[in-house]
Amino acid sequence: MSRNAYIVGTGHKVPDGVLTNADLEKIVDTTDEWITTRTGIKERRKTDDDTATSDLVAVAVEKAMKDAGWKPEDVQGIIVGTVTPDYCFPSTAALVADRLGLGTVPAYDFEAGCTAFIYGLVQAKAFIESGMMDRIIVVGADCLTKITNWNDRTSCILFGDGAGAVAVSSEGPGGRLGGWHWGSDGSLGKHLIQPGGGARRPASHETVDLIEHTIHMDGSRIFKHAVRAMRDSCMKALEKDGTEKKDVDLLISHQANLRIIDATARALELKPEQVYINIQKYGNTSAASIPMALDEAMRDGTISTPNTVVLAAFGAGLTWGGMILHWDE
Ligand code: UT7
């Protein structure tokens, strides 16, 4: 009998600190009206100086494990998608595995920008369906406010911090991981990049003076690509799944910009109530946005049984991806 992978628990964590559009008006030349109409964002969460990505991840994972009814010894692996790990190494996943007493399970970080959570689900699906694992934690987490240029009004208004985690099991009931699509195009990578601090431009006084350790983004170019990539990824994932647009109940898209989410919803011919939106509260939390929204949608009853949910994302790399989840009867 073929094996399936199911999401059996979800959890998320955001920091307490709230940064509103009015706060940003005091930092850069912008307005609440511009940010609201161009992005849909009203406020975002920001970590304090003492809090890093692993602190949010640990809480999100604990919640997902509790939701799944898992004890530490049940977990066979943990993978964390992030571009803002606590350190270049050791990995955030290994730090969290230690903190939560998960023992010596495999633990690693990977990066696919804002698409990382979908990349993580594809990995978990492969591990579980192949029989390599029965229970794995997948996390999407980022603290982009740590690498934000607060003088750049075209990007600093977008980002917030957060972490989302899911427990994925070979045993349901739960959200079955269905058809998927993932891709990348490195030729466009330069349009969304943290140029300094890596092996190409190691950290130096010069890289700091040039603010190269922050996000450098060509917003409108990314916008156009995102609309196309998310639409195509959804369609390819649906095709692989054998599901038609009319059978989709809910879209949970990467929360980057309300206008991008709307364009994806239009391509899927969805009604407004079939689109999960929380960007107004959190901004763009990068890899965390989909698992955070998924957790909220589970807990507030938006996702019920039976339900077919489409996930869609794009991000740095550039990368993109889509996956269909089924809560079967
Ligand atoms: O998760 C992946 C990460 N990246 C993204 O998701 C980014 C995707 N891109 C976007 O969301 C949008 O492109 C932005 C929100 C970044 C920008 O919106 P836009 O509609 O593409 O605006 P634009 O860049 O074309 O700029 C329009 C105008 C410009 O002024 P001029 O040249 O027309 O006079 C900008 O200087 O808006 C100006 N502008 C602002 N004005 C007030 C840019 N940022 C701001 C701001 N406040 N914060």
Residue 329 has a pLDDT of: 72
Residue 19 has a pLDDT of: 98
Residue 100, in any domain of the structure: yes
- Distance, CA of 145 to CA of 67 (rounded, Å): 29
Instruction: Provide CB contacts within 8 A for 318, sequence distance 6+.
Output: 113, 184, 185, 186, 188, 189, 191, 192, 222, 225, 229
Domain region containing 144: 6-174
pLDDT per position as a tens digit, 217-267? 999 999 999 999 999 999 999 999 999 999 999 999 999 999 999 999 999
pLDDT per position as a tens digit, 21-45? 999 999 999 999 999 999 999 999 9
Q: Best mutation site among 220, 225, 314 for ligand 1, i.e. most ligand atoms within 8 A of its Cβ?
A: 220
Residues 149 and 213 in one domain: no
Asked if 138 and 168 count as a contact pair (C-beta separation under 8 A), the reply is: yes
Residues 196 and 288 in one domain: yes
Q: Best mutation site among 34, 115, 223, 318 for ligand 1, i.e. most ligand atoms within 8 A of its Cβ?
A: 223
Residues 189 and 166 in one domain: no
Task: Look at residues 119, 140, 174 and tell me which one is the last residue of a structural domain.
Answer: 174
Residues 250 and 272 in one domain: yes
Choice among 12, 114, 225, 326 that is catalytic: 114
Residue 306 has a pLDDT of: 85
> Ligand 1 in contact with 315 (CB < 6 A)?
yes
- pTM of the shown model: 0.97
Q: Whose CA is nearest to atom 5 of ligand 1?
A: 256
pLDDT per position as a tens digit, 67-119? 999 999 999 999 999 999 999 999 999 999 999 999 999 999 999 999 999 99
Residue 69 has a pLDDT of: 98
Residues 161 and 228 in one domain: no
Residue 305 has a pLDDT of: 85
